[in-house]
Structure 1
Amino acid sequence: MGYRETSREKSDPLSRTLIERLQLANLLVGSSVPILIGFKEAFRIGEGRVTPNAIPQWPSVSSWWKTTEKYYKNNHHRLSLTVGRQILNEGYSFGKSLSTQKIERLAAMGDPRNAINVVLTSDDVTVDGFCMSRCGTHNASPPAKKGRFAYVWVGNSASQCPGQCAWPFHQPIYGPQSPPLVSPNGDVGVDGMVMNLASLLAGTVTNPFGDGYFQGPTEAPLEAASACPGMYGKNAYPGYAGDLLVDPTTGASYNANGALGRKYLLPALFDPTTSSCSTLV
């Protein structure tokens, strides 16, 4: 597979069947394409900072992230991300109805170069295309002398479309109506955001400017995570997220341990070394 200009990945769960994924997955890996090295993430709208004080037990978020490093094996560089500064825009300075252009302006409030600026919108904010065609997206600023940044936007779907953007923690709006799983952090909207943010970060670092690793049409490319839709554990199929870990105390389903005892559900990633979708459990 070569590379071409693309409008970046949209996070739209269950938008493609497993058959489509299997047919296209082996075409995802390219060679000598630009990918993101040494960038940092800057959370634009979020809650406080968390500093890990203990190494999470396996399976961990860091072990999930290692799959993205396999895309860098020919670049002789190690992928390095650090958390940047955070900005809370609680005054809704751009309003509660955001266009794509306003998302770009919010992202531009972050670091202007060598950064992934992350925009997180609360459940009372509407965004063009949110719930109708996407749960989030990633893109990049235009090339400029001062540098360039990538950005990710993810919305909280709790009050708008949890069946589309927070599945499997809410019943889907279509397809098999299996009972929803218990979310690991007790917040369906936020746990859905974690899943979508993880998917889009993986897509960003492997295809930040549209000429990296992807397959399919430029309007809706398959990237590292979107090549494996709706897949979170082994034996997954449409309507079933896969065989997951279950917290014996809360009954919550998860597949990754994070800092301070947090648990998360993270999407499968396409593994370029095996040409298959890889899950933590």
Structure 2
Amino acid sequence: MRHPGVLLLLVALVLATIPLLAAAWRPWPPTAARNATAPGASALGASKKFEGSSELVKLQYHMGPVLSGTITVHPIWYGAWPAAQKRTIRAFLRSLSPSPAEAARIPPPTVSAWWRTVRLYTDQTAANVSAAVALGREKSDARMSRGARLSRLDIQAVVRDAVAARTRPLPADSGAAYLVLTAPDVAVQDFCGQACGFHYFTFPSVVGYTLPYAWVGNSARRCPEVCAYPFAVPAYVPSRRPQAPPNGDVGVDGMVSVIAHELAELASNPLANAWYAGSDPSFPTEIADLCEGIYGTGGGGAYTGQLLTDARSGASYNVNGAGGRKFLVQWVWDPVLSYCSGPNALDHQ
């Protein structure tokens, strides 16, 4: 029998570690922007993680696995989710690995071409991140059984509730990805202030299994200027206008890019011991962190890079998906080219 004091110490260490591990991402570079004395890209300051920053990046492999089998993504809808918003997110997930017939109907640049960069990452068995990404079963908790304010550890409890449900539980699969999506009225620890999304893996002591999972929140009512940029812009940058979202929903279109970011990192670093830069595994810089804020050629700092514009709606996007959908997703680090890359890059056209 374990000593109670030892158990309390272990719990304290776990709780202290959660906010750091695979700690998340926010698309707007906040520090330099808030301290800017004049508007404009140069005044906002460029992040060191800019396009072509190979001399600054020490991305390393740490001998852990990548998700090399079929990656089944199980969405967990926490809070009230309108059907239209669910359809947009499902369409993006289906676009990562469409059927051959569907893929033939999607014009370039495509979501699946964006995922090809993620697929370049391998583990010590020489297995690549899987090309097959499937939309799995879904679970809804519209009543918010864990409340409207969640800690990071509560997110794991939401996953546990989904896999342990009495009716239609989600399967427990260590090669799957559990995607906890919180509605606009749900507050999550560090949401908006430090995080728009994060990924990690569940603790057997909490969930019963070690399962890779990610959380992404809908920022529409809380901080769209932080987590849904460039579809919303901070008030302290009066010279910049928000760009029109490709699916007409600032919160959900902003979420899509964060979902893409977190899935790319989850697939290449599912147990926080595979691909990341930096010497501290409790605070990794991962393959999407290296390209924060870059959506097109020339991107970096406060500039998204060159995007595409929908001729009918005027919306900004950079990839096409299933069912005629368009999305804006952040680029990821290409380990072969050693710079940030996306299918809409001008040198790809």
Task: Name the CA distance, whole Å, in 1 between partners of 2:140 and 2:294.
Answer: 32
State how 1:128-277 maps to structure 2 within 5 Å: 128-142=189-203, 147-172=209-234, 177-216=239-278, 217-277=280-340
> Residue by residue, what CA displacement relative to the aligned partner does 1:191-248 show, whole Å, maximum 9, x if unpaired?
0100100000001001111101111344442111111010000011322111011000
What SS does the aligned partner of 1:88 have? strand
Q: Is the 8 A contact 1:33 1:211 kept in 2?
A: yes
Deviation at 1:90, TM superposition (A): 1.0
Distance in 1, Cα, partners of 2:238 & 2:291 = 18
Of all paired residues, the percent bearing the same amino acid is 35
Unaligned runs of 5+ in 1: none
Q: Rate the CA distance shift 1:123–1:177 in 2: closer, same or farther, 3 A.
A: farther
Instruction: Report the Cα distance in structure 1 between the residues aligned to 2:60 and 2:237, rounded to whole angstroms.
Output: 30
Q: How many residues align?
A: 277
CA contact (8 A) 2:177 2:212 kept: yes
For the 8 Å contact 2:129–2:267, the answer to whether it is kept is no
Q: Partner letter of residue 211 of structure 1?
A: N
Structure 2 match to 1:86: 138
Name the CA distance, whole Å, in 1 between partners of 2:246 and 2:290. Answer: 24
Instruction: State the distance in 2 between where 1:64 and 1:221 align.
Output: 22
TM-score normalised to the size of structure 1? 0.89
Moved runs in structure 1, 4+ residues, more than 4 A? 48-53, 173-177
Residue 117 of structure 1 aligns to a residue whose secondary structure is strand
Contact 2:150 2:189 in 1 (8 A): yes
The Cα shift of 1:25 comes to 5.3
Confirm or deny that 1:58 pairs with 2:98.
Answer: no
DSSP-derived class of the 1:119 partner: strand
Residue 27 in structure 1 maps to residue 27 in structure 2: no
Q: Secondary structure at the match of 2:262?
A: helix
RMSD between aligned residues: 2.5
Cα separation, partners in 2 of 1:133 and 1:98, compared to 1, 3 Å: same
Separation in structure 1 between the aligned mates of residue 204 and residue 136 of structure 2, nearest angstrom: 22
Give unpaired runs (5+ residues) of structure 2: 1-17, 31-45, 164-170, 345-349
Distance 1:10 1:120, change over 3 A: same
Q: TM-score, normalised by structure 2?
A: 0.73
Pair 1:75-2:137 in alignment: no
Higher helix share: 2
Q: Which has the larger radius of gyration?
A: 2
- Cα distance 1:71–1:173, how it changes in 2: closer, same or farther (>3 A)? farther
- Any idea what the Cα deviations from partners look like across 1:49-78, whole Å, max 9, x if unmatched? 657673221111101000011002862456
Among 152, 159, 164, the residue aligned to 1:100: 152
Distance 1:25 1:33 in 2: 23
